[in-house]
Structure 1
Amino acid sequence: MDLFDSTWTDADAAATDLALLPVGSTEQHGPHAPLGTDVLTAEAVAEAGAAAYDGEVVVAPAIPVGVAEEHRQFTGTLWVSEDTFRSYVRETVASLAHHGWDRVVLVNGHGGNVGALREVAATIARHDAAYAVPFTWFEAVGDHGDDMGHGGPLETAMLRHVAPDLVREERVEEAREGSSDGWGEWVSYANLAVDSAEFTENGVVGDPAAGPAERGEELLELAGEALVSLLAAVESRDVSLPPHK
């Protein structure tokens, strides 16, 4: 059930304790892909997982602004501090739990959110009347994950499958020419770069031309299947705390 489109009476009738909370970012994705890429992909994966799951799942509205200051030089990028982000996620989960949806998977589409989501999920599980698990879709697509860049093949492929009208196809070659091969400037296993503008001319990492819609369809299927398995584990898990020793 999609909360955004439902009435409160529809929500009241939902007989489940499972919820999905998509989490993304509003940030640059090169000249060819929309600022909302990470929100769109997180929502698509959440919807696919909910549709395929053998049971009812509540899908909450997406959190659209995340931890993205690393893209601040590119116009349109929005960001909040990690503290603000963690608080927003935690309080949103608390409101879901208030209505009985107290087992929540945080479906993430932005790499910059990963650390904060891991931390806040642990805080929720330890201290709140809820249980939360972070799930980042591009970590759940097998060998495809090796190609994850930024506005590169994976995200472009997903967009071409779920929101093709938003991909500026006439700018893909421009995106490719101004991209970098990898994320950061690495020396002795340390990244010298703080912001993406230090190593990519137009914000793109990877080759967006290597992301056809057919690949996006496969990515969505793989991520959706992984999410279904995770939902089953979350639903059946004993989340009571072990006794103190």
Structure 2
Amino acid sequence: MSFVELKYLTSYEAAVAARQKGAIGLIPVGALEQHGPHLPLVTDSAMVEVLAAAAAERFREPVIVTPTLMAGLSDHHVEFPGTVSLDRKTLKGEIGAYITSLNRMGLTRICLLSFHGGNFSFLGDCADDNLLALQGVQIEAYTDFRQFLNVMHTAGQKAGLQLASTDSHAGALETSLVLHVLGEERVREFETVQGYTRNEHGWMETMQAKGVKAVSATGVFGTPCGASASAGKMILDALVDEVALWLGETFLLEEIR
């Protein structure tokens, strides 16, 4: 038993799984937001779901994964149709309800994981707040978005992608991942899509203050040109290695050899 998908368990089975030695709970937090004219709104949620499952499979101990929270903090993207953004209080309450439910099942070790950059630091705050509210429970969040993005860039370059330094949203990295995970039928024509690549001083501050559209009319950072499913596999494998390493060290889990 390693990857345990909570939504398919009965209530009785959930209680049994939580009692297994070393069991931890994992809450994937996604986003429902624009990803340029070529990728689906569900991109971040789909990626964190696959990432959580693949990382969970690495361990002997049960990793009980909840259903993915489909919307996150996406205020910078709301000018683009289809984007859903939760306020911080609502998202914190939703995450807190999942943590409480897992704890009631009997789990005392719980982690939060995202793929959407806008969620990372917030998840750390949620973990800290819930840690104060629940005695004897270890709650951790993967918060190092810089490292996460660096892992993607390194793997993408090894896969032969020509990456702009700004590639962080719907560029060649994420387009490759979606091609690999969801298939070509979920990706619209992308070779001619133009994204923001100039890396001017202060561009991130402008985006944070005025929204994505103030920097990139297409909502893309980087350019998806040259993306491929084979590159996506290499990027996903590298991310699974990264998250599994973090999980193993944080919760002292035993990897399956």
**What TM-score results when the alignment is normalised by the length of structure 1?**
0.85
Deviations 1:2-56 (A, max 9, x none): 0112222322221143011111100000111000000000001000011122221
Which residue of the partner structure matches residue 171 of structure 2? 152
State the AA in 2 paired with 1:191.
E
State the AA in 1 paired with 2:169.
H
Alpha-carbon separation, structure 2, partners of 1:20 and 1:229: 15
1:22–1:106: 8 Å Cα contact kept in structure 2? yes
Alpha-carbon separation, structure 2, partners of 1:228 and 1:54: 12
State the AA in 2 paired with 1:172.
F
Instruction: State the shift of 1:97 in Å.
Output: 1.2
SS of 2:241's equivalent in the other structure is helix
Which residue of the partner structure matches residue 42 of structure 2? 36
Which residue of the partner structure matches residue 7 of structure 1? 10
- Show structure 1 runs of 5+ residues with no match: 238-245
Number of aligned positions between the proteins: 232
Which residue of the partner structure matches residue 227 of structure 1? 243
**What TM-score results when the alignment is normalised by the length of structure 2?**
0.81
2:120–2:144: 8 Å Cα contact kept in structure 1? no
Alpha-carbon separation, structure 2, partners of 1:151 and 1:35: 11
Alpha-carbon separation, structure 2, partners of 1:137 and 1:37: 20
2:131–2:139: 8 Å Cα contact kept in structure 1? yes
Alpha-carbon separation, structure 2, partners of 1:29 and 1:41: 13
State the AA in 1 paired with 2:219.
G
2:180–2:232: 8 Å Cα contact kept in structure 1? yes
Q: Evaluate the alpha carbon distance shift between residue 119 and residue 167 of structure 1 in structure 2; reply closer, same or farther with a 3 A threshold.
A: same
1:208 equivalent to 2:224? Answer yes
1:103 equivalent to 2:109? Answer yes
Alpha-carbon separation, structure 2, partners of 1:210 and 1:137: 27
Q: Evaluate the alpha carbon distance shift between residue 102 and residue 186 of structure 1 in structure 2; reply closer, same or farther with a 3 A threshold.
A: farther
1:173 equivalent to 2:176? Answer no
Which residue of the partner structure matches residue 57 of structure 2? 51
Per mean C-alpha deviation after superposition, the further-off stretch among 226-235 and 154-163 is 226-235
1:124–1:131: 8 Å Cα contact kept in structure 2? no
Q: Evaluate the alpha carbon distance shift between residue 195 and residue 182 of structure 1 in structure 2; reply closer, same or farther with a 3 A threshold.
A: farther
Alpha-carbon separation, structure 2, partners of 1:182 and 1:205: 10
Which residue of the partner structure matches residue 192 of structure 1? 206
Of the three residues 210, 215, 218, the one matched with 2:234 is: 218
Of the three residues 54, 72, 77, the one matched with 1:71 is: 77
Instruction: State the shift of 1:205 in Å.
Output: 1.0
Of the three residues 151, 166, 179, the one matched with 1:142 is: 151
Alpha-carbon separation, structure 1, partners of 2:249 and 2:125: 20
1:22–1:107: 8 Å Cα contact kept in structure 2? yes
Instruction: State the shift of 1:59 in Å.
Output: 0.8
1:161 equivalent to 2:175? Answer no
Which residue of the partner structure matches residue 240 of structure 1? none
Q: Evaluate the alpha carbon distance shift between residue 128 and residue 135 of structure 1 in structure 2; reply closer, same or farther with a 3 A threshold.
A: same
